Amino acid sequence: MSRGPRVVAELGRPETPDETAARKAESSRVYRSSQNVRNLIAALLATLAVVVVIVFAVPRGSAPEREPIDVAAAAESVATAEDRTVIVPQMSDDWVVNLAAIDGDARVKAFNVVYAPADENARGFVNVSQGFDADESWVARVLSGWAPDDTVTIDGITWDRYVLDPERTGNISVALSTDAGTDTVLIYGTTTQAALEETARSVTDQITALRQEAP
């Protein structure tokens, strides 16, 4: 026995051929749409999995530590190039070297050794600068024209002492300067007077030797 056309409940009658075709087309559209969503989710999950693999596959570890700066070797190199004696500060373990190199302005070459506190939570710096054949005008240029406040004697060496305004002197708050034969030694930075004087003591013998070498 043949079956008659299917009665659609919503219509209360059999579908026409056009309605049947439209229903099937809509069903196909909904199916394809659901497949697209599934494919998109699958692609996102696959991408996330790749990212996770890359993240965990990349070797971890801290950046390699910078090679320590050998102040004595740097000073020896400059001494050979400039044919003169170059001082080497002897600082405590409370300080680490950030720079040991020759530079200066258009008039005076200088060997600079810059120290920072070994404690990473501490701030400030100390620069020991030996100006070759420098005079007081070089010190004034480095210290933005600041004049000394007074003098202080440290281990028999008389130093000009400066107390400066960091906002006017490029972050320099204190300084000491003295002659070392034909050169001038300038110690400056952002630190305490005690630390500055400790640094001065570390070069006492070398300043004395430079004075004795001077013609």
| pLDDT per position as a tens digit, 55-95 | 555 555 554 566 789 999 999 999 999 999 999 999 999 99
52 and 75 inside one domain? no
Digit-coded pLDDT (tens) for 156-166: 999 999 999 98
116 and 207 inside one domain? yes
Digit-coded pLDDT (tens) for 128-148: 999 999 988 999 999 999 999
CA 118 to CA 136: how far, in whole Å?
32
- Per the prediction, the chain carries an average pLDDT of 84
27 and 120 inside one domain? no
The one-letter code for the residue type at 172 is: I
Structural domain containing residue 195: 71-213
48 and 94 inside one domain? no
168 and 80 inside one domain? yes
35 and 76 inside one domain? no
Checking if the pLDDT of 6 tops 70, the result is no
Contact 129, 141 (CB under 8 A): no
CA 215 to CA 209: how far, in whole Å?
12
141 and 204 inside one domain? yes
Q: Choose between 116 and 44: higher pLDDT.
A: 116
91 and 44 inside one domain? no
CA 154 to CA 160: how far, in whole Å?
11
Write out the two tokens for 148: 């000394």
CA 206 to CA 77: how far, in whole Å?
17
Checking if the pLDDT of 15 tops 80, the result is no
The phi, psi pair for 189, rounded to 5°, reads 160, -160
Report the 10 Å Cβ neighbour count for 85.
16
List helix spans (H) across 134-203.
136-142, 193-201
51 and 130 inside one domain? no
